Amino acid sequence: MFNFISGVKKRLWGRGGMVWGLLLALPLTAVCQVPVPAPPKASGRCVEDTQFMRRNHMMLLFKKRNETMRQGIRTPTHSLKKCIECHAQRLPDGSYRPVTDEGQFCRECHSYAGVHPDCFDCHATTPDAPAHGQ
């Protein structure tokens, strides 16, 4: 029994399995015409590796929010406020496009993944105007 299972696993995950998997996937990609998200570029360099951020940004935001709110640690790294400052697109008139607008940074990937981020039910979607000194 064990040999049978490991044999199936080998076939699925081995080189032959991968070829079969790719052959199966080709017609699927032809059917599903969902474009891969292409979020706009940020104005600065991210504090973490892109691949790490794609998987773990929520964990970092959870940790940072509790530190900020409960302990008053307002360092910029991993704070939602700083993320938005960097990722919100600036318009020629000096204003910002909300990160939740169609095609904008947060919306682009979350729409693709079918996830609704609750952050912006409360949090601002653009950086503060410079007049407030923030």
Partner 1 sequence: MTTEYQGRIEIEPVQTGEIEPGRRGFLGIMTAAVAGSGLSWIALARAPDAPVDDKSRWGILIDATKCPADCTACVTACNTENALLGHNRPTSDAQWLRKVQLKDKATGRTLSLPVGCQHCKSPPCVDVCPTGASFRRADGIVLVDKHICIGCRYCMMACPYKARSFGHEETHGQKPHSPRGKGTVEACTLCVHRVDAGQNPACVDACQQKGHGAMIFGDLNDPNSPIAKRLATEPSTQLREVLNLNTGVRYQGL
Which backbone phi and psi does 79 adopt, to 5 degrees?
-85, 140
Q: Is residue 83 part of the contact set for partner 1 (CB under 8 A)?
A: no
**Closer Cβ to partner 1, 15 or 70, answer by number:** 70
Q: Is residue 123 part of the contact set for partner 1 (CB under 8 A)?
A: yes
Q: At a CB cut-off of 8 Å and minimum separation 6, what does 130 contact?
A: none
38/103 Cα distance (integer angstroms): 8
Q: Is residue 67 part of the contact set for partner 1 (CB under 8 A)?
A: yes
Q: Is residue 58 part of the contact set for partner 1 (CB under 8 A)?
A: no
Give the number of other Cβ atoms within 10 Å of residue 109's Cβ.
16
Q: Is residue 121 part of the contact set for partner 1 (CB under 8 A)?
A: yes
The CA-CA-CA angle for residues 103, 108, 112, to 5°, reads 135
Q: At a CB cut-off of 8 Å and minimum separation 6, what does 132 contact?
A: none
Stretch of 22-30, 33-41, 66-74, 102-110 lying at the interface with partner 1 (CB under 8 A): 66-74
Q: Is residue 81 part of the contact set for partner 1 (CB under 8 A)?
A: yes
Q: Which residues bind partner 1 (CB under 8 A)?
A: 65, 67, 69-75, 81, 84, 121-124, 127-128, 132, 134
